[in-house]
């Protein structure tokens, strides 16, 4: 019964191993494209970018086009007034006269009124230019924010991709260990049946084999979990297509040139654009205390129940009689006293915010430089470690083959063979872990520099 289960398990191991070795196709660059096209936060950042472009159009319209207001009304009221014309409110021209002083006249009459007023602020002491500059900087800030988010998602998707490759390589490792311990068990069972080895050997070998099956189940579950996390980020990723894991344990040659943090790094660009935007806002706030020079003009059409002779007709339709048209043009200089009083305080407030943003920029740049310096040294150390563990795996495999031959010849005990198997198993695991740490450091370096070309070339 045990032998029957072992045969089925061995067949399963061969099929799964062959399937894993055959899975190729889904490249890292494809994962990036799927993530950047599917993940909702990109839609959010793109919408904010489009909003900033609309804000620029609104800023241009509000600052360079005149304000035009139209008003139509039909009203009834008293008419005690003095003669003259003026702008009482935006959109209104008021032209007044006197009715007859004859006794018996109604005290109120209907009026019809329509007016259009234009107010063109043609000179604001540079505030228009600064407002447009701030709008352009708002677009740059939104663009930088989008680029930074894309970099974060590229780093996150790469991390998930590497996690999957690590789980696959560990699953292959578990499968190979299961195949070796299965071979040891079958050999020990045949030697025990022939009376050449004690019967306890087969039980010990079976226990070792079952432990490797447990590790296989562990890494199978871990691989499924990693694939689920990847599909949550890149929803269109076809995980059945598989990921080529061969390059994971075969890193390409590293560049030896000194890498520097670029001033165009997306994380720095976000903060730099924020600082520049704040400086413009501070300059704009400082000029709000200056006056505005405007050209104003208006046209008013009106009718009234008061006739030229001063007689008053208070019927509803009489409001359309006695029509008159008036125009009024002029120049105006407007001072906002409240803005003049608060502009210096507002400018100081924004200046302190700019100071904080500059400090954030310095901190971010220092963090990137520190991470890059640290990770560069760690990568150099990992390269040396991989050379050593690769040699250790090669020697352990050679020793295992020799000890397997000696066990078959009855020259060593099962315990010695299992000990060599454990050494080989540990050496292979150390090799996988060393590569895992290497790729994690390379990912940190790629995010710090904003350059993922090495990873792209390695896994494409």
Q: What is the pLDDT of residues 106-130, one digit of tens each?
A: 777 777 878 888 888 888 888 888 9
Tell me the C-alpha distance between 18 and 355, whole Å: 60
Comparing CA positions, the residue from 335, 252, 237 lying closest to residue 294 is 335
Tell me the C-alpha distance between 177 and 217, whole Å: 13
pLDDT of residue 6: 42
Beta-carbon contacts of 428 under 8 Å, excluding residues fewer than 6 positions away, are 173, 176, 177, 393, 396
pLDDT of residue 78: 55
Comparing CA positions, the residue from 451, 443, 454, 445 lying closest to residue 161 is 443
Q: Is 121 exposed, middle or buried (CB count within 10 Å of its CB: 0-12, 13-18, 19+)?
A: buried
DSSP class per residue in 286-314: HTTTS-EEEEEEEEEEEEESB-TTS-B--
pLDDT of residue 423: 92
Beta-carbon contacts of 304 under 8 Å, excluding residues fewer than 6 positions away, are 79, 109, 110, 111, 112, 318, 319, 321, 322, 324
Tell me the C-alpha distance between 383 and 377, whole Å: 10
Residues of the chain where predicted confidence (pLDDT) is lower than 70: 1-25, 72-102, 192, 194-199, 239-242, 254-258
Number of helices and strands in the chain (H, E): 9, 6
Tell me the C-alpha distance between 36 and 234, whole Å: 8
For 334, the enclosing helix (H) or strand (E) is strand 324-334
pLDDT of residue 253: 72
Residue 246 has which token pair?
């061969």
pLDDT of residue 292: 86
pLDDT of residue 8: 38
pLDDT of residue 81: 55
Comparing CA positions, the residue from 371, 293, 269 lying closest to residue 125 is 293
Beta bridge partners of 73: 113
Strand blocks (E) in 26-108: 67-77, 84-86, 94-96
Q: Domain-by-domain residue ranges, the chain?
A: 2-458
Beta bridge partners of 303: 112
Contact present, 356 and 326 (Cβ < 8 Å) = no
Contact present, 231 and 237 (Cβ < 8 Å) = yes
DSSP structure class, residue 240? G
Tell me the C-alpha distance between 331 and 120, whole Å: 10
Task: Let me know if domain 2-458 sits in CATH 3.30.43.10.
Answer: no
Beta-carbon contacts of 114 under 8 Å, excluding residues fewer than 6 positions away, are 70, 71, 72, 73, 300, 301, 302
Comparing CA positions, the residue from 153, 73, 87, 79 lying closest to residue 118 is 87
Tell me the C-alpha distance between 331 and 424, whole Å: 92
């Amino acid at each position: 019964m045990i032998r029957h289960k072992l045969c089925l398990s061995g067949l399963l191991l061969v099929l799964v191993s062959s399937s894993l070795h055959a899975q190729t196709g889904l490249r890292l660059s494809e994962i990036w494209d799927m993530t950047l096209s599917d993940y909702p936060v990109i839609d959010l950042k793109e919408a904010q970018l489009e909003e900033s472009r609309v804000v620029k159009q609104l800023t241009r319209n509000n600052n360079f086009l005149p304000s035009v207001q139209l008003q139509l009304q039909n009203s009834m009221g008293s008419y005690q007034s003095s003669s003259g014309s003026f702008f009482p409110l935006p959109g209104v021209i008021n032209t007044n006269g006197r009715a007859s002083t004859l006794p018996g006249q109604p005290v109120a009459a209907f009026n019809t009124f329509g007016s259009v007023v234009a107010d063109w602020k043609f000179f604001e002491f540079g505030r228009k230019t600064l407002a447009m500059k701030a709008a352009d900087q708002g677009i740059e800030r939104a663009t930088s924010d989008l680029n930074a988010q894309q970099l974060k998602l590229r780093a996150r998707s790469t991390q998930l991709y590497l996690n999957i490759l690590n789980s696959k390589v560990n699953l292959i490792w578990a499968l190979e260990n299961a195949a070796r311990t299965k071979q040891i068990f079958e050999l020990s069972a045949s030697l025990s049946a022939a009376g050449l080895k004690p019967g306890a050997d087969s039980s010990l070998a079976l226990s070792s084999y079952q432990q490797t099956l447990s590790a296989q189940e562990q890494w199978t579950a871990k691989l499924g979990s990693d694939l689920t996390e990847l599909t949550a980020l890149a929803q269109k990723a076809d995980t059945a297509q598989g990921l080529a894991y061969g390059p994971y344990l075969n890193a390409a040659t590293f560049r030896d040139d000194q890498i520097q943090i670029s001033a165009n790094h997306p994380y720095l660009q976000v903060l730099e654009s924020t600082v520049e935007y704040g400086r413009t806002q501070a300059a704009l706030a400082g000029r709000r205390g200056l006056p505005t020079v405007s050209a104003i003009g208006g046209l008013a059409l009106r009718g009234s129940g008061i006739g030229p002779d001063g007689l008053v007709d208070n019927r509803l339709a009489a409001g359309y009689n006695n029509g008159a048209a008036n125009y009024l043009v002029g120049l105006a200089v407007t001072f906002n006293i409240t803005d003049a009083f608060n502009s210096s305080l507002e400018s100081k407030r924004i200046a302190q915010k700019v100071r904080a943003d500059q400090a954030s920029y310095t901190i971010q740049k220092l963090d990137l430089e520190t991470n890059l310096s640290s990770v560069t040294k760690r990568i150099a150390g990992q390269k040396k470690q991989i050379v050593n563990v690769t040699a250790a795996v090669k020697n352990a495999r050679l020793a295992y083959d020799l000890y397997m031959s000696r066990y078959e010849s009855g020259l060593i005990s099962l315990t010695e063979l299992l000990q060599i198997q454990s050494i080989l198993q540990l050496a292979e695991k150390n090799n996988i872990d060393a590569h895992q740490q290497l790729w994690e450091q390379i990912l940190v370096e790629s995010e710090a520099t904003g350059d993922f070309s090495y990873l792209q070339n390695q896994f494409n």
